[in-house]
Amino acid sequence: MPIGYEATYDPEKVTVTIDGRVMTGFAADGKITIVRNEDSVTAQVSVDGGVTYDENANQSGLMTVSFMSTSSSLSFLRQLEAKRKRFSVLISDVNDNDPVKVSADDCRIQKLPDLGRGKNSSTVTVSIILPRYIPR
C-alpha cells in the first residue's frame, strides 16, 4: 500500500445469509461480531523456561448480529429459534482492504431475541452458535 493510503469500507459489500435467506435491517451501530469460544492455542511454560504449545480442537464461535427492531429478518430468526432448527450461515465481505468469508453449518440461535417496544425503534441483538468458525 502506498504511504498515506486510506482504505474505503462499504457496509453494503457485506452480506449475511442465514438458512438461505439474506438478512436485512441491520442496526446502525454495528452489524456482525464473531468471537471464538476458546483460544486456539495455549502455552505451558516449564520451570526452566521451556514452552510447550497445546493446540485446542474447539473451533466453535459465537456470532452476534444487531438488527433494528423493525427488521423483517427478526421474525424469520424467531421462527428458527422456536423450531430449534439447525441452519447454515454465510458471511461474505468483498471490501478491498480485508475481504473475508465465513461459512458454518449446523448453527443454532442461542436464545430467543429480545422483544422490546417503545417510543422509538431500538436495536435487537441475535446470538448464533457456530459449531466451527474458520474465517477464510
Contact status, residue 135 vs residue 100, Cβ threshold 8 Å: yes
- Residue 131 CB-density burial (10 A; 0-12 exposed, 13-18 middle, 19+ buried): middle
Contact status, residue 11 vs residue 30, Cβ threshold 8 Å: no
All three cell numbers of 94: 468483498
Predicted confidence band of residue 31 (pLDDT cuts 50, 70, 90): confident
In three-state secondary structure terms, 12 is helix
All three cell numbers of 104: 458454518
List 128's β-bridge partners, or say none: 63, 109
pLDDT in tens, 87-133: 999 999 998 888 889 999 999 999 887 777 777 778 899 999 999 98
- Identify the residue with better confidence: 112 or 53: 53
CA distance 103 to 72: 22
Q: Give backbone dihedrals phi and psi of 76, rounded to 5 degrees, phi first.
A: -60, -45
Closest CA to 115 of 84, 71, 85, 63: 71
pTM confidence score: 0.83
